[in-house]
Structure 1
């Protein structure tokens, strides 16, 4: 069945420039150089990886350090939000590790894992941004602890736990693998971490799933594929992004930007958007332009959702995911903007020269972006992704 196509959303007329026509792949050599690799078409498989290459490459780290040192806005506010967050502290008290984690049934040790994944990722970034060894030590303590202990993730929401938490842990591990202090992470310990992803996380996420379940699995599989240097894992995620019957980009977002969860609530809608953006950012670093898929469909989703959550009317067609249909757009959690907008705004505006009026308006409401809900996203986009 063809997906419904709600009417197009008109652009605001308050002096904001209209969107430019999508630039062809052959015209973006400068963007390719910035990623460290030549851009490929969205469906072209890659043969090797840029490292570190989950959300942040080395030049991204250097850009952040330069912006912090310059003491200018909006990066200064973004840095202050990030460095003072509870999970960015080298004194963070590890909550795990545990042998088993359950999400959705008993909830045993679920809180411990997602808290520690946040702290591992943020301390890995703090190490790279400050050079303070205590942060590297903390990130590695968490990664090594869970890698040597966790044996299973269970519960009715096990796939969500594996995808959301696994993504954050893989991002931390990727940074540390290529920047850790000499001698602090042995080859056998790194292999143990790879085995954690291959044996515990990947078997849960490689089946993908419907709507937000599937989109979270996509970003997790991409991150784990990069860390494990496994192109087959990474390519499976890219194929799902493009082709999966229930979670491909063009299934979760219509051409006007309406999301399959727009009629469910605005939190899950933004979860889908943020997850697909994170997948696109990993791909961009690896030389693939998933952002451009289906005439910048992801941007249409962000514009539609930002416009609605800023209090404006948007067209709605009866639609939904593979498992649920919604007759009207939901007001549940309307106006509660998640910290997922800076990444997308900076890609389309700074890298591609395409206007993002409603996305930027949302940013103005929440800048500097802070921590995400639980472990759902990386957050802190004002520091991490403002170019």
Structure 2
């Protein structure tokens, strides 16, 4: 029997064992392009050129977003990297042995890469390279309970930085070593996914997709995209899913009670609700950000997911969370009538794709997005998305 037929049979057998109302997400078809587009992680060359034109003309909101980025410590040309051989991150980054340093150096490398392209001042490209070289010469691994999440956070920013620099500035002497770091230190830690809260696997797959683009790794890309598609379907609920949310194959969520516990005790499922809405909006925002970021990279690489269930789940998740972040009354049937807000600077990419490019009306998301401009960084993996994606038509 072929591996493909064997895998399908296993899924069908598992699905048959599920109680009525539970559904597994389907394993998507391969998605990697025959040849990757570069630059192609989160931002394309056309998008970058649009940003540069708007910034140079002094147009808003790009001018203020650019000034915000350039005025941040992440853009400082005097920044000194703080690499460690082993980054140790426990729960909630306690202990924090290199966790913050790694994430922030990775964001700085991406910030400098953007600054290079927008200013054409090669000091910024060289600073980005300096930060990447410092870490690729030093790091050998991540450890403790938050290691997969930390690797995803940092890997998402490293891949954006490296992709921009290599594609628009050129190869540098340490580029091969940096690629080896991503391939041997980062990718193995994240490519297998996670059964923790959904934002973990989503950012891990965001990093894996970005790294795979940079490495021209079609197998890694397909593996990461398959896990991403399954996790998105299991992270945002749509009424068409049935009585209960979808589950990820191998999650161990086999009963209604198990699913309700995993969804933070929420037993009434509403379109746009996420698996972490009743936990807090901060972590929900992480998940939404990664859903949008991967969809954007996929679009650049030739497969537009916005017209699939991914786009619909993203649209509904943005609208649902935005409504309550803006102050709508919380019904007693939602999280016991109490929400912990704090969605963060995570709406620009999805809003741009769905509203600017596809023309979908998203009133609550639009209000929240415009109120939050310019969106800065969450100091983890989201950075400067008003600058890169506000009203960007490309």
Q: Counterpart of 2:97 in 1: which secondary structure?
A: coil
What residue is the counterpart of 1:370 in the other structure? 376
Supply the distance in 1 between the matched residues of 2:274 and 2:39 (Cα, whole angstroms). Answer: 32
Supply the distance in 1 between the matched residues of 2:47 and 2:38 (Cα, whole angstroms). Answer: 12
Displacement of 1:93? 2.5
Displacement of 1:45? 3.9
Per-residue CA deviations over 1:305-353 (Å, capped at 9, x if unaligned) read 11111111466878xxxxxxxx546522x1x341111111111112111
Alignment of structure 1 residues 1-387 onto 2, 5 Å = 2=21, 44-94=31-81, 96-104=82-90, 106-180=95-169, 185-186=172-173, 189-210=174-195, 211-243=198-230, 248-255=231-238, 256-294=271-309, 296-313=312-329, 328=336, 330-332=338-340, 334=341, 336-372=342-378, 374-378=379-383, 380-386=384-390, 387=392
Supply the distance in 1 between the matched residues of 2:337 and 2:233 (Cα, whole angstroms). Answer: 19
Query: Compared with structure 1, are the counterparts of its residues 301 and 377 closer, same or farther at alpha carbon in structure 2 (3 Å cutoff)?
Result: same
Supply the distance in 2 between the matched residues of 1:329 and 1:137 (Cα, whole angstroms). Answer: 51
Supply the distance in 2 between the matched residues of 1:364 and 1:58 (Cα, whole angstroms). Answer: 25
Displacement of 1:43? 5.5
Supply the distance in 1 between the matched residues of 2:201 and 2:149 (Cα, whole angstroms). Answer: 9
Question: Is 2:199–2:287's contact at 8 Å kept on the other side of the alignment?
Answer: yes
Aligned positions, number = 330
Unaligned runs of 5+ in 2: 1-18, 239-270
Query: Compared with structure 1, are the counterparts of its residues 3 and 338 closer, same or farther at alpha carbon in structure 2 (3 Å cutoff)?
Result: farther
Q: Counterpart of 1:73 in 2: which secondary structure?
A: coil
Supply the distance in 2 between the matched residues of 1:292 and 1:219 (Cα, whole angstroms). Answer: 19
Q: Counterpart of 2:142 in 1: which secondary structure?
A: strand
What residue is the counterpart of 1:322 in the other structure? none
Higher helix residue share: 2
Query: Compared with structure 1, are the counterparts of its residues 330 and 88 closer, same or farther at alpha carbon in structure 2 (3 Å cutoff)?
Result: farther
Question: Is 2:236–2:273's contact at 8 Å kept on the other side of the alignment?
Answer: yes
Supply the distance in 2 between the matched residues of 1:112 and 1:383 (Cα, whole angstroms). Answer: 24
Supply the distance in 2 between the matched residues of 1:108 and 1:45 (Cα, whole angstroms). Answer: 36
Question: Is 1:258–1:316's contact at 8 Å kept on the other side of the alignment?
Answer: no
Question: Is 1:101–1:153's contact at 8 Å kept on the other side of the alignment?
Answer: yes
TM-score when normalising by structure 1: 0.81
User: Which has the larger displacement, 234-243 or 149-158?
Assistant: 234-243
Q: Counterpart of 2:101 in 1: which secondary structure?
A: helix
Supply the distance in 1 between the matched residues of 2:350 and 2:150 (Cα, whole angstroms). Answer: 25
Displacement of 1:88? 1.5
Question: Is 1:307–1:313's contact at 8 Å kept on the other side of the alignment?
Answer: no
TM-score when normalising by structure 2: 0.79
Supply the distance in 2 between the matched residues of 1:115 and 1:90 (Cα, whole angstroms). Answer: 14
Unaligned runs of 5+ in 1: 5-40, 319-326
Displacement of 1:223? 0.3
Query: Compared with structure 1, are the counterparts of its residues 344 and 129 closer, same or farther at alpha carbon in structure 2 (3 Å cutoff)?
Result: same
Q: Counterpart of 2:305 in 1: which secondary structure?
A: coil
Per-residue CA deviations over 1:174-210 (Å, capped at 9, x if unaligned) read 11111225xx712xx2221111111111111011113
Supply the distance in 1 between the matched residues of 2:216 and 2:304 (Cα, whole angstroms). Answer: 20
Supply the distance in 1 between the matched residues of 2:385 and 2:337 (Cα, whole angstroms). Answer: 27
Supply the distance in 2 between the matched residues of 1:353 and 1:195 (Cα, whole angstroms). Answer: 41
